[in-house]
Protein backbone atom coordinates (compact mmCIF):
# COMPACT_ATOMS: atom_id res chain seq x y z
CA UNK A 1 0.00 0.00 0.00
CA UNK A 2 1.18 3.49 -0.78
CA UNK A 3 2.26 5.81 2.01
CA UNK A 4 0.79 9.30 2.33
CA UNK A 5 2.01 12.32 4.25
CA UNK A 6 -0.48 15.18 4.51
CA UNK A 7 0.72 18.73 5.09
CA UNK A 8 -1.98 21.30 5.69
CA UNK A 9 -1.82 24.90 6.80
CA UNK A 10 -2.39 28.50 5.72
CA UNK A 11 -0.76 30.17 2.71
CA UNK A 12 2.92 30.97 3.12
CA UNK A 13 3.65 28.71 6.10
CA UNK A 14 6.36 27.05 4.01
CA UNK A 15 4.34 23.97 3.04
CA UNK A 16 5.46 23.74 -0.56
CA UNK A 17 9.17 24.36 0.06
CA UNK A 18 9.22 21.90 2.93
CA UNK A 19 7.10 19.28 1.16
CA UNK A 20 9.15 19.51 -2.04
CA UNK A 21 12.42 19.04 -0.21
CA UNK A 22 11.11 16.30 2.07
CA UNK A 23 9.67 14.43 -0.93
CA UNK A 24 13.05 14.49 -2.64
CA UNK A 25 14.78 13.27 0.51
CA UNK A 26 12.29 10.46 1.15
CA UNK A 27 11.79 9.49 -2.52
CA UNK A 28 8.09 10.44 -2.48
CA UNK A 29 6.10 12.37 -5.07
CA UNK A 30 5.18 15.90 -4.04
CA UNK A 31 1.62 16.93 -4.89
CA UNK A 32 0.68 20.60 -4.54
CA UNK A 33 -3.12 20.56 -4.46
CA UNK A 34 -3.40 24.37 -4.38
CA UNK A 35 -2.29 24.33 -8.03
CA UNK A 36 -5.51 22.50 -8.93
CA UNK A 37 -7.69 25.20 -7.35
CA UNK A 38 -5.51 27.81 -9.02
CA UNK A 39 -6.04 26.19 -12.45
CA UNK A 40 -9.80 26.39 -11.93
CA UNK A 41 -9.42 30.01 -10.77
CA UNK A 42 -7.47 30.78 -13.94
CA UNK A 43 -10.07 29.12 -16.11
CA UNK A 44 -12.83 31.19 -14.47
CA UNK A 45 -10.78 34.37 -14.82
CA UNK A 46 -10.15 33.73 -18.53
CA UNK A 47 -13.88 33.45 -19.06
CA UNK A 48 -14.45 36.68 -17.17
CA UNK A 49 -16.29 35.06 -14.25
CA UNK A 50 -16.04 36.31 -10.65
CA UNK A 51 -14.56 33.70 -8.29
CA UNK A 52 -17.85 33.31 -6.42
CA UNK A 53 -20.05 33.11 -9.53
CA UNK A 54 -21.30 29.58 -8.85
CA UNK A 55 -23.91 29.70 -11.61
CA UNK A 56 -21.14 30.08 -14.20
CA UNK A 57 -18.34 28.11 -12.54
CA UNK A 58 -20.26 24.90 -11.83
CA UNK A 59 -21.24 24.31 -15.50
CA UNK A 60 -17.69 25.31 -16.51
CA UNK A 61 -16.41 22.19 -14.69
CA UNK A 62 -18.06 19.99 -17.34
CA UNK A 63 -16.17 21.80 -20.07
CA UNK A 64 -12.62 21.81 -18.69
CA UNK A 65 -9.96 19.24 -18.01
CA UNK A 66 -7.50 19.67 -15.13
CA UNK A 67 -4.60 17.25 -14.91
CA UNK A 68 -1.39 16.82 -12.97
CA UNK A 69 1.78 15.63 -14.65
CA UNK A 70 5.44 15.48 -13.68
CA UNK A 71 8.40 16.72 -15.71
CA UNK A 72 11.79 15.02 -15.95
CA UNK A 73 12.95 16.72 -12.74
CA UNK A 74 9.90 15.14 -11.03
CA UNK A 75 8.34 18.57 -10.58
CA UNK A 76 4.61 18.88 -10.75
CA UNK A 77 3.02 20.47 -13.81
CA UNK A 78 -0.64 21.46 -13.89
CA UNK A 79 -2.46 21.21 -17.20
CA UNK A 80 -5.63 23.10 -18.03
CA UNK A 81 -7.20 21.64 -21.17
CA UNK A 82 -3.79 20.25 -22.08
CA UNK A 83 -1.97 23.61 -21.65
CA UNK A 84 0.82 23.82 -19.07
CA UNK A 85 -0.39 26.70 -16.86
CA UNK A 86 2.05 26.07 -13.97
CA UNK A 87 3.65 29.53 -14.33
CA UNK A 88 0.46 31.48 -15.05
CA UNK A 89 -1.26 30.44 -11.80
CA UNK A 90 1.33 32.01 -9.48
CA UNK A 91 0.01 35.58 -9.36
CA UNK A 92 -1.68 37.36 -6.42
CA UNK A 93 -4.83 37.72 -8.54
CA UNK A 94 -5.07 33.97 -9.17
CA UNK A 95 -4.38 33.34 -5.44
CA UNK A 96 -7.58 35.22 -4.61
CA UNK A 97 -9.50 33.52 -7.45
CA UNK A 98 -8.34 30.11 -6.21
CA UNK A 99 -9.46 30.88 -2.66
CA UNK A 100 -12.89 31.99 -3.94
CA UNK A 101 -13.51 28.99 -6.23
CA UNK A 102 -12.29 26.61 -3.52
CA UNK A 103 -15.33 27.55 -1.38
CA UNK A 104 -17.68 26.05 -4.02
CA UNK A 105 -18.54 22.46 -2.98
CA UNK A 106 -18.81 21.28 -6.61
CA UNK A 107 -15.26 22.49 -7.27
CA UNK A 108 -13.96 20.52 -4.29
CA UNK A 109 -15.87 17.40 -5.37
CA UNK A 110 -14.52 17.80 -8.92
CA UNK A 111 -10.93 17.64 -7.63
CA UNK A 112 -11.34 14.96 -4.98
CA UNK A 113 -10.89 11.81 -7.09
CA UNK A 114 -7.88 13.22 -8.88
CA UNK A 115 -6.15 13.88 -5.55
CA UNK A 116 -7.05 10.50 -4.04
CA UNK A 117 -6.01 8.71 -7.18
CA UNK A 118 -2.54 10.29 -7.03
CA UNK A 119 -2.18 9.07 -3.44
CA UNK A 120 -3.35 5.54 -4.20
CA UNK A 121 -0.88 5.07 -7.00
CA UNK A 122 2.21 6.72 -5.45
CA UNK A 123 3.91 7.43 -2.15
CA UNK A 124 3.00 11.07 -1.77
CA UNK A 125 3.58 14.15 0.29
CA UNK A 126 0.47 16.16 -0.46
CA UNK A 127 0.01 19.74 0.64
CA UNK A 128 -3.19 21.75 0.86
CA UNK A 129 -5.84 22.81 3.35
CA UNK A 130 -7.99 19.70 3.85
CA UNK A 131 -5.65 16.82 3.02
CA UNK A 132 -5.52 15.33 6.53
CA UNK A 133 -9.18 16.06 7.26
CA UNK A 134 -11.00 15.25 3.99
CA UNK A 135 -8.86 14.09 1.06
CA UNK A 136 -6.65 11.55 2.86
CA UNK A 137 -8.07 11.04 6.36
CA UNK A 138 -6.06 7.79 6.60
CA UNK A 139 -2.70 9.42 5.81
CA UNK A 140 0.05 7.82 7.90
CA UNK A 141 1.48 11.21 8.90
CA UNK A 142 -0.44 14.49 9.17
CA UNK A 143 1.29 17.78 9.75
CA UNK A 144 -0.35 21.15 10.31
CA UNK A 145 2.13 23.86 9.47
CA UNK A 146 1.60 27.43 10.58
CA UNK A 147 3.37 30.78 11.09
CA UNK A 148 2.30 34.33 11.91
CA UNK A 149 0.53 36.29 9.11
CA UNK A 150 3.36 38.89 9.04
CA UNK A 151 6.00 36.23 8.68
CA UNK A 152 4.05 34.45 5.91
CA UNK A 153 3.38 37.72 4.07
CA UNK A 154 7.09 38.59 4.21
CA UNK A 155 8.04 35.22 2.70
CA UNK A 156 5.45 35.54 -0.09
CA UNK A 157 6.56 39.13 -0.76
CA UNK A 158 10.24 38.11 -1.04
CA UNK A 159 9.27 35.26 -3.39
CA UNK A 160 7.25 37.53 -5.72
CA UNK A 161 9.90 40.28 -5.70
CA UNK A 162 12.51 37.69 -6.60
CA UNK A 163 10.34 36.72 -9.59
CA UNK A 164 10.44 40.38 -10.66
CA UNK A 165 6.83 41.19 -9.75
CA UNK A 166 5.84 44.68 -8.69
CA UNK A 167 4.05 44.12 -5.37
CA UNK A 168 3.71 45.93 -2.01
CA UNK A 169 4.23 44.17 1.33
CA UNK A 170 1.07 45.79 2.78
CA UNK A 171 -1.04 44.41 -0.10
CA UNK A 172 0.40 40.92 0.33
CA UNK A 173 -0.25 41.06 4.10
CA UNK A 174 -3.88 42.08 3.62
CA UNK A 175 -4.30 39.33 0.98
CA UNK A 176 -2.83 36.78 3.43
CA UNK A 177 -5.21 37.88 6.19
CA UNK A 178 -8.24 37.89 3.84
CA UNK A 179 -7.34 34.48 2.41
CA UNK A 180 -6.79 32.97 5.90
CA UNK A 181 -10.19 34.19 6.94
CA UNK A 182 -11.93 32.92 3.79
CA UNK A 183 -10.13 29.55 3.84
CA UNK A 184 -10.88 28.87 7.50
CA UNK A 185 -14.46 30.16 7.59
CA UNK A 186 -15.93 28.51 4.50
CA UNK A 187 -18.68 25.95 5.10
CA UNK A 188 -17.02 23.12 3.24
CA UNK A 189 -13.66 21.58 4.20
CA UNK A 190 -12.43 24.66 6.08
CA UNK A 191 -8.76 24.99 6.92
CA UNK A 192 -8.32 23.33 10.30
CA UNK A 193 -5.94 20.77 11.79
CA UNK A 194 -6.98 17.09 11.81
CA UNK A 195 -7.43 15.76 15.35
CA UNK A 196 -4.32 13.63 14.94
CA UNK A 197 -2.16 16.25 13.20
CA UNK A 198 1.30 17.18 14.46
CA UNK A 199 1.28 20.96 14.96
CA UNK A 200 4.39 22.80 13.75
CA UNK A 201 4.91 26.59 13.88
CA UNK A 202 7.63 27.95 11.57
CA UNK A 203 7.46 31.66 12.63
CA UNK A 204 10.88 33.23 12.88
CA UNK A 205 12.63 30.14 11.51
CA UNK A 206 14.51 30.09 8.26
CA UNK A 207 13.15 27.48 5.89
CA UNK A 208 16.21 25.27 6.16
CA UNK A 209 15.61 24.87 9.90
CA UNK A 210 11.93 24.07 9.31
CA UNK A 211 12.73 21.60 6.54
CA UNK A 212 15.19 19.71 8.76
CA UNK A 213 12.74 19.66 11.64
CA UNK A 214 9.96 18.28 9.44
CA UNK A 215 12.10 15.67 7.71
CA UNK A 216 13.19 14.41 11.14
CA UNK A 217 9.57 14.17 12.29
CA UNK A 218 8.65 12.24 9.12
CA UNK A 219 11.61 9.88 9.32
CA UNK A 220 10.88 9.06 12.94
CA UNK A 221 7.30 8.06 12.09
CA UNK A 222 7.69 6.16 8.83
O1 LIG B 1 -1.78 26.53 -1.45
P2 LIG B 1 -2.22 27.63 -2.39
O3 LIG B 1 -1.96 28.99 -1.82
O4 LIG B 1 -1.63 27.46 -3.77
O5 LIG B 1 -3.81 27.46 -2.54
C6 LIG B 1 -4.61 28.35 -3.28
C7 LIG B 1 -6.03 28.37 -2.71
O8 LIG B 1 -6.66 27.10 -2.94
C9 LIG B 1 -6.13 28.58 -1.20
O10 LIG B 1 -6.42 29.93 -0.87
C11 LIG B 1 -7.23 27.69 -0.73
C12 LIG B 1 -7.42 26.69 -1.83
N13 LIG B 1 -7.04 25.33 -1.46
C14 LIG B 1 -7.98 24.55 -0.85
O15 LIG B 1 -9.08 25.04 -0.56
N16 LIG B 1 -7.71 23.25 -0.56
C17 LIG B 1 -6.52 22.72 -0.85
N18 LIG B 1 -6.30 21.44 -0.56
C19 LIG B 1 -5.52 23.51 -1.45
C20 LIG B 1 -5.80 24.82 -1.74
Please report the pLDDT score of residue 73 as a whole number: 83
Distance from Cα 195 to the centre of ligand 1, integer Å: 20
Q: What is the pLDDT along the chain (222 residues), one digit of tens a residue?
A: 799 999 999 988 989 989 999 999 999 999 999 999 999 999 999 999 999 999 999 999 999 999 999 998 888 999 999 999 999 999 989 999 999 999 999 999 999 999 999 999 999 999 999 999 999 999 999 999 999 999 999 988 998 899 999 999 999 999 999 999 999 999 988 999 999 999 999 998 888 899 999 999 999 998
Pocket of ligand 1 (CB under 6 A): 11, 33-34, 37-38, 95, 98-99, 102, 128-131, 179, 183
Check if the beta carbon of residue 51 is closer than 8 Å to that of residue 96.
Answer: yes
Distance from Cα 166 to the centre of ligand 1, integer Å: 23
Q: Which H helix or E strand runs over 218?
A: helix 207-221
Complete domains list, the chain, with CATH = 4-221 (3.40.50.300)
Instruction: Please tell me the distance from the alpha carbon of residue 6 to that of residue 109, in angstroms, as a whole number.
Output: 18
Please report the pLDDT score of residue 22 as a whole number: 93
Distance from Cα 144 to the centre of ligand 1, integer Å: 14
Amino acid sequence: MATAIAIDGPAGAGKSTIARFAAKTLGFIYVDTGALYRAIGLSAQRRGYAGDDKASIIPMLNEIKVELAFNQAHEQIVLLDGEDVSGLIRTPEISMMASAVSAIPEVRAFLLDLQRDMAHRNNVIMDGRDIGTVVLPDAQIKIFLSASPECRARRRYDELIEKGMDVKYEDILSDVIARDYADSHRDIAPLKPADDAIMVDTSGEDLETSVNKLVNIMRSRL
